[in-house]
Every structure is written in C-alpha cells, then in structure tokens.
Amino acid sequence: MRIILTGGGTGGHIYPALAIAKELRERHPDVEILYIGSETGLEARLVPKSGIPFESIEISGFRRSLSFENVKTVYRFLKGVRRSRSLIRSFSADAVIGTGGYVCGPVVYAAAKQGIPTLIHEQNVIPGLTNKFLAKYVSRIAVSFTGSAQYFPTDKVVVTGNPRATEVAKADPTRGRSSLALSGSKRLVLVVGGSRGARAINEAFIEAIPQLEKQRNTHFVYVTGEVHYEQVKQMLEQSGQTMGNISVFPYIYNMPEVLATTELIINRAGASFLAEITSLGIPSILIPSPYVTNNHQEKNARWLEGHGAAAVLLERDLTANSLVTEIEQIVHVPQRLQLMKQAAKKLGEPQAADKIYEEIQKLMRR
C-alpha cells in the first residue's frame, strides 16, 4: 500500500494527517507513505520528526479581495499541479489524502485528474476554500461535524470525526506528567494559543499571573508559541513573578500525553484541538481567533458551548480579570467541572482514524 498525505499551514491540518499515517502504519506495517507539503509551512518541521518522507511544492492561498497576488497564486497552483503530478507518478500512489490548507489543493487535484482514489478531510464546521474547491473532484469527503455535510455533495460525504482524536485518546497521562517534571497531585491547567501561539492570550495570562499564583492546588502549564517565547520570557523576568505554580514552554511536542493529564484547557478553537480535548473529556475555556476565515473558530467554540463542554470568552472581552473569573468558576466548582467533563466526553469520536481507514479501503477496492 502506497499512500500520499498532504495538508499544512497550521497544526490543525497537519496533526490529522499524521494521525491517519499512524493508523495506516499500525494496520499495515509495510505501508509506504509520502507527505507533500509547503517548505514554508509548519509541516516542513513536524512531518520529518515523525519519520515520514517529505516533499514540498510552492503554493500560496487566494486572497478574498481582488488582487494581483491572485494571478500569482493561479500560476503557483498550476506549477504545483505539475510538480504534484510528477511526485504522484514517481511514488506510484494507490490513494491520496488531503487534510486541508491550500497546499493540498494542487496535490489532490492532480491525483483526482489521474484517476487515483482521493479523500479529503474537513475539520471545521464551516469548510475552507480549498476543500470546497476539491469537493467536485475527489472520491470521498470525510467531515468532523454533521453540520459540515450540507456544504458538500451528499453522495460523497461521510461523518468520521477528526482522526487526531484517535491518537490522543490512547495517550498516557503518566508520561505526560513526567515530561513536564511535575510531581504530586496538583490539578493541571493548560494554557495554549494554538500551534503558533496567540498574543492576546499571552498578554491576558501574563497579567493574570499574580492572581493565579495564589491557586496553590493548581499548576499552570503555559505554552507561548515559539514566535512569542523570548518576548514572554523577558516580560516575565522583568515582572519579578515567582512562578512557583507556573511552567512556561515555547512549544510542546508530546501534546497528546500532556492533554491526557490536563483538567482544564484554555485555548483557541481550532477544530483539531477540539477533537483532541473531547476525545479525553477535557473541559475548556475557548477564546476563538477573530482573524480566521468565516469566523469558523467561534462557530466551532459555540458548538462545544451549546453542548455544555466549554465556556466561550471572545477576544474582545478577554482581560486578566475575565480569564481568572472563568478559570475559578470551573476549577473551584467541582460539580460544574464534572458536568463539563461528561459533556466533552460525549462529543468525542475516538474511532475517527479507524473510520477514515475503512473509507480508504473502500476507495481502493472500487
């Protein structure tokens, strides 16, 4: 079995692809996998760490307003299709799977035009532009949310959940706690702004530290994002905070294991992260990014909130005080914390990777 995976830009597109790769390897130890991404995307760093061969194409996304840059994007797309066609042929792919981000556009399109079975996975409630474009050409469309099905051809859609949930559901909490050098039985609250970090969350959390330091039964793991780490570190040193119950990291590579030992998470509302936390039944305070297309993060967050699994705090309302208040109203109210855990767990789909694997098998048997 020879499979090409593609998707990138952010962890939300990359981690589902890596989860599919892990499932394929577990089912077929002799499977050969090639990942095609962008050299400038996060995938160029994350994919090689997983031991998967990586090839790159040059591509950029469309601007929604009229711009000469879109002419350049069309040129890069056509160039990317030619490069993808060559990579697909030389690899002799049996199927091509795209998990979103503009980089998977030319790859999946090239495969579909060559008659190779193709599957795309949509993580968000509201689909992205690339997957909307590819929907016409692909063999199958897997979605995380039932509400996404209305945006795609009904005869191609299957609701699978997010494959990242399968990987995270199997994570070892003991290893997660050990990797953070945490001992004792303190509850763990994880603060993270997505794979690249979030300035607004960083600023509010830093200002909230004097209040959070008083919560001695709670340890806060604060992930700044690599691009913000040095600035945050300098700010913390200048503030003179003791940081006794707070650990600061630029990035966490074993996130599933850390999540497995987390009591509450404060985060953006990217779809893959929501799949991860619901697979483990983790309550959340979600701060949707207002800078994403179609405001899809708020729609994702409201979905969890509507099921009782999360509290939503919009960035315009985010302050140190509002953040501390939300934390205290969950962490210090055991009944609410437990109800949110149960609600999150009900939304989880730990068998998502298995379902996608079965769909791949069906396509290859056609």
φ/ψ (deg, to 5) at 299: -65, -40
Please name the residue ranges forming H helices in 135-284. Answer: 164-169, 173-179, 199-212, 226-239, 255-259, 271-280
User: In the structure, how many helices (H) and strands (E) does the chain have?
Assistant: 15, 13
Q: Is residue 11 annotated as involved in ligand binding?
A: yes
Q: Is residue 124 annotated as involved in ligand binding?
A: yes
SS (H, E, C) 87-136: HHHHHCCCEEEECCCCCHHHHHHHHHHCCCCEEEEECCCCCCHHHHHHCC
At residue 178, the 3 state secondary structure works out as helix
At residue 151, the 3 state secondary structure works out as helix
Kind plus residue range of the DSSP H or E element containing 142: strand 140-143
Residue with tokens 């049996």: 94
Q: Is residue 12 annotated as involved in ligand binding?
A: yes
Q: Is residue 297 annotated as involved in ligand binding?
A: yes
Which residues lie below 8 Å from residue 153, measured CB to CB, with a gap of 6+? 135, 136, 141
How far CA 127 is from CA of 99, 149, 297, in Å, comes to 11, 9, 11
Q: Is residue 281 annotated as involved in ligand binding?
A: no
> How long, in residues, is the chain?
366
Q: Which of 19, 46, 22 is nearest to 195 (CA)?
A: 46
Eight-state DSSP code of residue 292: S
Q: Is residue 215 annotated as involved in ligand binding?
A: no
CA 233, 234, 240 angle in degrees (round to 5)?
90
Kind plus residue range of the DSSP H or E element containing 320: helix 320-331
For strands 95-98 and 157-159, give the pairing. Answer: unpaired
Residues placed in the known binding site for UDP-N-acetyl-alpha-D-glucosamine? 10-12, 124, 195, 252, 297
Residues placed in the known binding site? 10-12, 124, 195, 252, 297
